[in-house]
C-alpha cells in the first residue's frame, strides 16, 4: 500500500515545493516507524478506508443504467479511484503524525505560516477542545463536521473532477494545503483523545466513526462518512478558505444581491436524519458539481428517488401516497438547498407528483413497483428515446464536409456527433470552451475518444474560428416559455457571433427541459458559482480578493440567449422556431403544470 502510494506521489512531486517534499518524506518515515511500533492503528484505518471505497464503488455502479450516462459515471468513478489512494496516504500520514506530532509540526512549521493558517489552527483547536468535552456520539459528528468546515468550498475542485480525468486528480493531490492538513490532524487527535477517555476503542476517531457506521447498513454508512473525507483531500483554491468564508458572502455583487448563493453548511449534508442517504449523497454531488448537466442531474435524481421509494415505510395509520409525497417533498427541498434545482429535475419531480396523486388502490409493494416502473419509463422516454429522436432528425442536417461548432459539454450533442460518426459522415467539430468551468475539455475528450477530428479554442477566440464553421449546435439547460434559451454561460455569445457570421444556430433540447418560466435577461434568475474559480493560482492578482474592499469576482452559471439569435430548436417532437415553446408546453400539459 505504502509503496504504490509513494509511486503516485513521486509523479506528482514535480509541482511540490521543497518544504512540502521534505515534510512528506519525514511523515512517511514516521509512518513506517509507527507501523512497526503500533501495527494496529494504521492498519485498521486503511482497512476501513478500503471497505468504504468498495462500497462507494458499488453505489456508483448501481446508478449507471442508461447507456448514455454510463460512460460519464464510469469516468467519474475512474477519476475518483486514485483519490481514494490519496486518502489512504493522507490518513497514514495523519496517524503517524498523531504518534510523533512534535517532529512533524516542526517540519511543517519551518515553512512560513500565514495569518489565516494560524487562525484556522486555533479554530480547529478550540473546536477540538469543545468536542472533547461533549459526549461521545456528538463528538464524532463534531469531528466529521469539523472536517467539513475545514473545506467548506471544495465544489470547485469537485466540479473539475467530473470534467478532467484521473491524471488531473493526481496532479491536484499535493495541493492540499498545510493549514487544512493540520486542522484535520487536530480534529482527529481530539477525537482520539476523546475516544481514549471514554475507553471505547483505542483506534483513531475517524477510523472509529467509519467502523461504527459500516457496521450499520452499508448504504447508510458509505455516504455520510465518505463525504467529509473526500472533501478533506480535494484541493482548495486558497488556504484562507476557512476564515474568509463568512466575509465571502458579504462581498456579493450588488446586482446579484437577490440571488442567494446555496447554503453550503456542512450540517446540511450529514446531520439530517430525515434525509435518505441516496438523496444526501446526491445533494453533495450537486453541491460539489460532481454531477453536472441537465440530463445527468435529472437521471441521478430519478435514481435516488427510486431508492427513496423502495426504502420508504409508511408510518402507522397513514396513507402510502400522501406520506410518500410529503417525504419526497422534503427530499427535494433538501436538494434545492444544496443547489437550485435544474428545470429538468423539477419537471421530473412534477411528473412524479402527478403520478403519486393518481395511485390506484393497491398494496404497497405493488405501488412501489408501479412507481419504479414509472421512473424507468420516464428516463427511457424523456431522455433516452428523445435523444435518439433528436439525433435522427439532426442526422439529416449533418453532411460530408460539415464543420460543427459547439460550446462547452452537452451529452446530447455528443450523442449526435457519435451517431454521425457511425454513419461515416466526414465532418469535424470545433469545441469552444470557457474558463473557469472548462467543460469543453471533457467534450473534447469524449469526441476524441470516438475519433472525431476536433479543434479547440477559448470563447474569446471565437471570431477566429467562426468563418470555418458551417453549423453551430448548442445544448441547453432549459427552454423558457418566451422562447429564450437558458444554457451554460457563453452560449449566447456563441450564438451572437454565429449570427454575425451568418452561420445557422441549432439548439438541441429535449422537451422535458421546457420550462413555463418567462425570463428576458440572465440577471433576474441565475446561479452564482464559487467566485474563487476565477482565481487562477497563487500568483494571480485576484488572489486574496476578499481582502480588497471593492473587488468581486463574479461567476455566473447560465445566460439567456434571445430567440432571434437561434435559427431553430431541435426537439424530439419537431424542429421548431424558439417561439413555439408555448405550443409544445400546451400539447404536452403534463410538463407544464
Partner 1 sequence: MREQPLNEVTQLIHAVKMGLVEGSYSITNKTLDIFKYIIMSKTWQNADALMQIVRAQSRIMQAALPQETVTSNMARRILKLTREEFELLQAKGQHFADDSQASLSLHKLVTQTSENCVSVDYSVPQQGLREALLDHLQEVETELETSSENISVQAEEHIHSSEIILTLGHSRSVENFLKRAIKKRQLLTIIVAECAPACRGHNLAASLAHEKNVEIIVIADASIFAMMSRVNKVIIGTHSVLANGGLRAACGAYTVALAAKHYSVPVIVLAPMYKLSPLHLCEQDAFNMVGCAEDVIAYDSVPARDAKVYSPMFDYVPPELVTLFISNTGGHAPSYVYRLLSELYHPEDLEL
Contact set with partner 1 (CB under 8 A): 164-165, 167-168, 253-255, 431, 434-436, 441, 444-445, 448, 453-465, 467, 488-490, 492-493, 496-497, 500, 521-523, 526, 534, 536, 540-542, 545, 548-556, 558-560
Shorter beta-carbon distance to partner 1: residue 560 or 591: 560
Q: How far is the CB of 355 from partner 1 (least distance, A)?
A: 36
Q: Which helix (H) or strand (E) holds 260?
A: none
Q: CA torsion angle for 362, 366, 369, 370 (degrees, to 10)? A: -30
Shorter beta-carbon distance to partner 1: residue 153 or 519: 519
Secondary structure (H, E, C), 276-327: CHHHHHHHHHHHCCCCCCHHHHHHHHHHHHHHHHHHCCCCCCCCHHHHHHHH
Q: CA torsion angle for 135, 138, 141, 147 (degrees, to 10)? A: -50
Q: How far is the CB of 430 from partner 1 (least distance, A)?
A: 9
Q: How far is the CB of 518 from partner 1 (least distance, A)?
A: 16
Shorter beta-carbon distance to partner 1: residue 46 or 75: 75
- Which three cell numbers mark 426? 466526414
Partnered with residue 406 across adjacent β-strands are 431, 473
Partnered with residue 514 across adjacent β-strands are 479
* Count of C-beta atoms within a 10 Å radius of residue 282: 28
Asked if omega into 530 is within 30° of 0 (cis), the reply is no
Q: How far is the CB of 442 from partner 1 (least distance, A)?
A: 9
Q: 265 to each of 108, 278, 533, how far by Cα in Å?
A: 29, 18, 19
Shorter beta-carbon distance to partner 1: residue 59 or 487: 487
Shorter beta-carbon distance to partner 1: residue 110 or 450: 450
Shorter beta-carbon distance to partner 1: residue 46 or 447: 447
Q: How far is the CB of 53 from partner 1 (least distance, A)?
A: 24
Local structure of residue 200 (DSSP, 8 states): S
Shorter beta-carbon distance to partner 1: residue 431 or 585: 431
Q: How far is the CB of 384 from partner 1 (least distance, A)?
A: 26
Burial 310-335 (b: 16+ CB within 10 A, else e): eebeeeeeeebbeebbebbeebbebb
Shorter beta-carbon distance to partner 1: residue 180 or 559: 559
Backbone angles phi, psi at 485, to 5 degrees: -105, 125
Q: Write the DSSP assignment of 361-380 as a string of letters.
A: S--HHHHHHHHHHHHHHHII
Q: How far is the CB of 551 from partner 1 (least distance, A)?
A: 4
Q: How far is the CB of 463 from partner 1 (least distance, A)?
A: 4
Strands 428-433 and 568-570: unpaired
Shorter beta-carbon distance to partner 1: residue 134 or 500: 500
Instruction: Return d(Cα 120, Cα 118) in angstroms, integer.
Output: 5
The answer to whether the CB of 468 falls within 8 A of the CB of 404 is: no
Amino acid at each position: 500500500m505504502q509503496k504504490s502510494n509513494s509511486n503516485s506521489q513521486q509523479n506528482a512531486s514535480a509541482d511540490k515545493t521543497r518544504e512540502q517534499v521534505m515534510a512528506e518524506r519525514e511523515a512517511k518515515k514516521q509512518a513506517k516507524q509507527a507501523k512497526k511500533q503500533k501495527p494496529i492503528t494504521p492498519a485498521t484505518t486503511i482497512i476501513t478506508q478500503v471497505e468504504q471505497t468498495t462500497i462507494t464503488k458499488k453505489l456508483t455502479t448501481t446508478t449507471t443504467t442508461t447507456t448514455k450516462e454510463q460512460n460519464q459515471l464510469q469516468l467519474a468513478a475512474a477519476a475518483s479511484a486514485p483519490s481514494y489512494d490519496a486518502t489512504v496516504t493522507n490518513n497514514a500520514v495523519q496517524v503517524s503524525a498523531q504518534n510523533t506530532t512534535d517532529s512533524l509540526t516542526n517540519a511543517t512549521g519551518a515553512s512560513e505560516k500565514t495569518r489565516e493558517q494560524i487562525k484556522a489552527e486555533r479554530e480547529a483547536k478550540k473546536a477540538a477542545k469543545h468536542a472533547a468535552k461533549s459526549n461521545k456520539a456528538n463528538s464524532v459528528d463534531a469531528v466529521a463536521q469539523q472536517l467539513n468546515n475545514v473545506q467548506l468550498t471544495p465544489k470547485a475542485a469537485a466540479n473539475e473532477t467530473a470534467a478532467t480525468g484521473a491524471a488531473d486528480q493526481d496532479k491536484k493531490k499535493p495541493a492540499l494545503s498545510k493549514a487544512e492538513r493540520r486542522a484535520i490532524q487536530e480534529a482527529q487527535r481530539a477525537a482520539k483523545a476523546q475516544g481514549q477517555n471514554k475507553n471505547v476503542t483505542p483506534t483513531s476517531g475517524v477510523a472509529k466513526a467509519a467502523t461504527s457506521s459500516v457496521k450499520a447498513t452499508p448504504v447508510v454508512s458509505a455516504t455520510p462518512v465518505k463525504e467529509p473525507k473526500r472533501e478533506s483531500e480535494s484541493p482548495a483554491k486558497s488556504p484562507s478558505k476557512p476564515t474568509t468564508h463568512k466575509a465571502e458572502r458579504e462581498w456579493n455583487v450588488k446586482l446579484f444581491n437577490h440571488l442567494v448563493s446555496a447554503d453550503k453548511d456542512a450540517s446540511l449534508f450529514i446531520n439530517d436524519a430525515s434525509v435518505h442517504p441516496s438523496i444526501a449523497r446526491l445533494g453533495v454531488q450537486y453541491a460539489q458539481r460532481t454531477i453536472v448537466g441537465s440530463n445527468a442531474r435529472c437521471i441521478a435524481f430519478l435514481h435516488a428517488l427510486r431508492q427513496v421509494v423502495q426504502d420508504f415505510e409508511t408510518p402507522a395509520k397513514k396513507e402510502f401516497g400522501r406520506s410518500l409525497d410529503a417525504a419526497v417533498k422534503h427530499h427535494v427541498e433538501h436538494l434545492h438547498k444544496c443547489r437550485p434545482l435544474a428545470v429538468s429535475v423539477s419537471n421530473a419531480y412534477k411528473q412524479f407528483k402527478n403520478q403519486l396523486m393518481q395511485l390506484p388502490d393497491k398494496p404497497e409493494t405493488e405501488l412501489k413497483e408501479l412507481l419504479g416502473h414509472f421512473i424507468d419509463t420516464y428516463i427511457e422516454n424523456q431522455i433516452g428515446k428523445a435523444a435518439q429522436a433528436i439525433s435522427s432528425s439532426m442526422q439529416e442536417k449533418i453532411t460530408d464536409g460539415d464543420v460543427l461548432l459547439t460550446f462547452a459539454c452537452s451529452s446530447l450533442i455528443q450523442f449526435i456527433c457519435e451517431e454521425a460518426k457511425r454513419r461515416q459522415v466526414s465532418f469535424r467539430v470545433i469545441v469552444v470552451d470557457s474558463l473557469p468551468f472548462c467543460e469543453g475539455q471533457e467534450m473534447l475528450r469524449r469526441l476524441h475518444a470516438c475519433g472525431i477530428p476536433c479543434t479547440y479554442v477559448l470563447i474569446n477566440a471565437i471570431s477566429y474560428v467562426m468563418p470555418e464553421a458551417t453549423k453551430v449546435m448548442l445544448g441547453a439547460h432549459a427552454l423558457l416559455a418566451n422562447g429564450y434559451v437558458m444554457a451554460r454561460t457563453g452560449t449566447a455569445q456563441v450564438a451572437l457571433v454565429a449570427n454575425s457570421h451568418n452561420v445557422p444556430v441549432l439548439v438541441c433540447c429535449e422537451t422535458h427541459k421546457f420550462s413555463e418560466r418567462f425570463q428576458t435577461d440572465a440577471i433576474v434568475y441565475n446561479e452564482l458559482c464559487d467566485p474563487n474559480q476565477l482565481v487562477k493560482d497563487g500568483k494571480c492578482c485576484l488572489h486574496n480578493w476578499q481582502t480588497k474592499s471593492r473587488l468581486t469576482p463574479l461567476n455566473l452559471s447560465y445566460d439567456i440567449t434571445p430567440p432571434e439569435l437561434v435559427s431553430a430548436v431541435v426537439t424530439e417532437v419537431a424542429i421548431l422556431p424558439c417561439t413555439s415553446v408555448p405550443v409544445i408546453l400546451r400539447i404536452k400539459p403534463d410538463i407544464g403544470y
